[in-house]
Homo-oligomer: A and B are copies of this chain.
């Protein structure tokens, strides 16, 4: 029997508040520090590991975090979710993104449909379509192959698929599986569409229009932009566009599209990368097999998240340590720092995933809560970040918890030796060095050169960023965010905070404004 309780009503949380704080710099020093880093590691899917040696926890804290996991029934709540209960209570919806990549529990029948079968059918249909495009069965009107795919979507229809495309572009090039180049149009700013269109060959491009409702203003506007460009090129838009939308949307059965593939209300935008939202553009870009491997990696990580033992459930452990840092230690924000240029936009995806899910001030029953919830997420790839904002992370007045990601091998199988080491070794040496620098610090007579240390971080280490390990990484963070939402007793699957801006923007466009809003509208010449 599941019960939903606020974090501050839980006995284990009160116990956490009373625990002695860990002196991280001391704990990480000497051979004890070495032992700690060896022990504080949990296997992840696809051969990766979550290492939390440099987090501000010790065995005692971990013991109470395990109690918290039990008391908050985290794994039971996940089971309720994947078995199809209405976990998104605000919008009265099930939450089924795990079902696109496997089935962890019972059959989920909704609206008379077996949802796993529905999702698999979309994947199969998309794969068949992509194969036909790649082998030349589907071509442009002149009978020429399509070479480029451009996604038109915003938010979850943009950030996740874009991050994944960039993460695998180099890998796909060296594995000869980059079938089509991909572009992305998202912003309602007309210059976004104009610039993307100016850089592609429209005659050889398929556009993927992604909108669940078929009414997202940004996306419809950009569709119109693209249609104009296709017509200007003397072509028929219906030969160049496909839709990913819900079965009930105006786009679903329109003759305006070469094909339509379907999504539903049970997968929120920010959890939709593994659904048709990502499947279409990524299967076209990389081939359906690569997309399938990506799903397999995510499925393997999902399965780990069903373990009740926190030392065998890396996403849940990561979530619990994050709660400890935020609610007990009072740290702000979380920086996500991948030492992999291919993950350049992965932090931007996590920004939506995490902040839109857990940036809430009421519990799942709509009652105000008395503790902080989701942190601000930001980040850039290392080593670039080291030459940018790490100064503040090392010597600033706030402590920001860090989440590093690193791989032993690079993707593109090309490297140079300079001063006795490869670039990949330099990259890895830097992330190892940063973890210890943040945790241990360094004393100096000159206070300006002193590093306080005690700045906690974790690292996810993998062999290589591949479709499968990327899928596992994605699932890790999706599950982490979900578990944190369970701990905070909030609904991580709605987003009421985006509504007011939409309502007021419509008023501005209808010239139905007064007061300050009218002055701003005038200022901006609307």
- Using an 8 Å CB-CB cutoff, how does the interface string of A245-279 with B read, 1 for contact, 0 for none? 00000000000000000000000010000000000
Is A432 a contact of B524 with CB atoms below 8 Å?
A: yes
A-B contact pairs, 6 of them (CB 8 A): A155-B388, A170-B194, A186-B384, A356-B389, A429-B508, A430-B501
- Starting from the known contacts A372-B398, A433-B508, 19 additional A-B residue pairs (CB-CB under 8 Å) come to A38-B519, A187-B382, A187-B383, A189-B383, A190-B423, A195-B412, A221-B426, A228-B416, A332-B376, A333-B333, A356-B388, A369-B397, A376-B376, A376-B400, A394-B498, A419-B509, A429-B524, A431-B524, A433-B504
A461 on the B face (CB < 8 A): yes
With A221-B416, A221-B418, A381-B189 as known contacts, state yes or no: A432 contacts B348, CB within 8 Å: no
* A426 adjacent to B217 (CB under 8 Å): yes
Q: Are A158 and B384 in contact (CB under 8 A)?
A: yes
Which among A28-36, A105-113, A134-142 touches the partner chain?
A28-36
Q: Which of B31, B90, B429, B495 contacts A521 (CB 8 A)?
A: B429
A392: chain B residues at CB < 8 Å are: 355-356, 358-359, 374, 376, 497
Interface bits A217-254 vs B (CB < 8 Å: 1, else 0): 11011101100100000000000000000000000000
Interface secondary structure of A, over-half rule: helix
Q: Do residues B29 and A515 form an inter-chain contact, with CB atoms below 8 A?
A: yes
Q: Does A191 contact B (CB under 8 A)?
A: yes
CB distance from A400 to the nearest CB of B (A): 7
Q: A33-B515, A332-B333, A426-B509 are in contact. Are A189 and B435 (CB under 8 A)?
A: no
Residues of B within 8 A of A435 (CB): 516, 520
Q: Which of B339, B359, B441 touches A189 (beta carbons < 8 Å)?
A: B339
Residue A352 at the chain B interface, CB threshold 8 Å? yes
**Contact residues in B for A495 (Cβ distance below 8 Å):** 391
CA distance A34 to B369 in the complex (A): 33
Contact with B along A488-526 (1 / 0, CB 8 A): 000100111111111111111100001111111101111
**Nearest CB of B to A163, in Å:** 12
Interfacial chain B residues near A428, Cβ < 8 Å: 521, 524-526
Known contacts A361-B452, A380-B351, A432 near B521 by CB under 8 Å? yes
Contact indicator A501/B390 (Cβ below 8 Å): yes
